[in-house]
């Protein structure tokens, strides 16, 4: 009984130590979202499920941002392009994340910085939870929010009339065969634009 108590206590301490508020999945790369196994939310999704979910989420966010009623509407936004691809979450290429990225040009010529507050409100209305202290991004020029296993980043620049949108999926561990494919081919895949 005492041994079981010690084991349970060690497991609890290890779990709490791995859950640092505001941190992501890989302590060496704070921009990496937590894996399903570290979030305790159940079994790991397949690579195809992760890919499709991130692609769909990225498209939804881009559609929201550039819509006629969206947070950038007064700046005459247009999508310059969007794509998705796999990237390694760690130096050892053990876990991989599917990420969706898009660029929204502001036809008005305005800097995107003035719109981050409106973008934050719009994504929060869609269930994203704002992260006020992102580990690896400047909160003065970017918005970071989380929804489920995905991390959203919207980056703006004082001297540029565009914003960059990224949805980072969870880090998952592929099979050896899948990993070999990822190591040799990391092509970008276009996303359908709204």
pLDDT tens digits for range 122-135: 999 999 999 987 66
Antiparallel, parallel or unpaired: β 189-190 and 96-106 = unpaired
Q: Determine the Cα–Cα distance for residues 120 and 144; give it in Å rounded to an integer.
A: 9
- The pLDDT of residue 28 is 37
Domain positions in the chain:
33-190
Indicate if the pLDDT at residue 26 is higher than 70: no
Burial of residue 132 (CB within 10 Å: 0-12, 13-18, 19+) is exposed
Q: Which CATH number fits domain 33-190: 1.10.10, 3.40.50, 3.90.660, 3.30.2030?
A: 3.30.2030
Indicate if the pLDDT at residue 24 is higher than 60: no
- The pLDDT of residue 194 is 65
Q: Determine the Cα–Cα distance for residues 31 and 105; give it in Å rounded to an integer.
A: 24
Q: Determine the Cα–Cα distance for residues 88 and 68; give it in Å rounded to an integer.
A: 36
Give the residue carrying structure tokens 């400047």. 138
In the predicted model, what is the mean pLDDT of the chain?
Answer: 80
Among 15-24, 46-55, 64-73, 146-155, the minimum mean pLDDT is found in 15-24
Please report which confidence band the pLDDT of residue 23 belongs to, taking 50, 70 and 90 as the band edges.
Answer: very low
pTM of the model: 0.76
Give the C-alpha distances (Å, rounded to integers) separating 153 from 45, 112, 130, 182, 183: 22, 13, 10, 24, 25
Q: Determine the Cα–Cα distance for residues 112 and 164; give it in Å rounded to an integer.
A: 9
Using DSSP's 3-state secondary structure scheme, residue 38 falls into: helix
Do residues 127 and 145 make contact, with C-beta atoms less than 8 angstroms apart? no
The DSSP 8-state label assigned to residue 192 in this structure reads P
- The pLDDT of residue 138 is 80
- The pLDDT of residue 193 is 74
């Amino acid at each position: 009984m005492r041994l079981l108590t010690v084991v349970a206590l060690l497991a609890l301490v290890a779990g709490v130590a791995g859950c640092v508020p505001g941190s992501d999945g890989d302590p060496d790369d704070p921009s990496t979202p937590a894996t399903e196994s570290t979030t305790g939310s159940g079994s790991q999704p397949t690579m195809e499920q992760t890919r499709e979910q991130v692609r769909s989420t990225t498209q939804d966010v881009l559609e929201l941002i550039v819509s006629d009623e969206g947070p950038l509407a007064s700046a005459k936004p247009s999508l310059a392009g969007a794509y998705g691809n796999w990237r390694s979450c760690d130096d050892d290429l053990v876990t991989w994340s599917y990420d969706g990225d898009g660029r929204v040009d502001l036809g008005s010529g305005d800097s995107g910085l003035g719109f981050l507050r409106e973008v934050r409100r719009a994504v929060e209305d869609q269930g994203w939870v704002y992260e006020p202290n992102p580990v690896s991004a400047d909160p003065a020029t970017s918005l970071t929010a989380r929804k489920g296993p995905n991390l959203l980043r919207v980056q703006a620049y004082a001297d540029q009339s565009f914003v960059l949108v990224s949805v980072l999926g969870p880090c998952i561990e592929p099979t050896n065969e899948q990993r070999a494919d990822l190591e040799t081919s990391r092509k970008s895949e276009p996303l359908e634009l709204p």
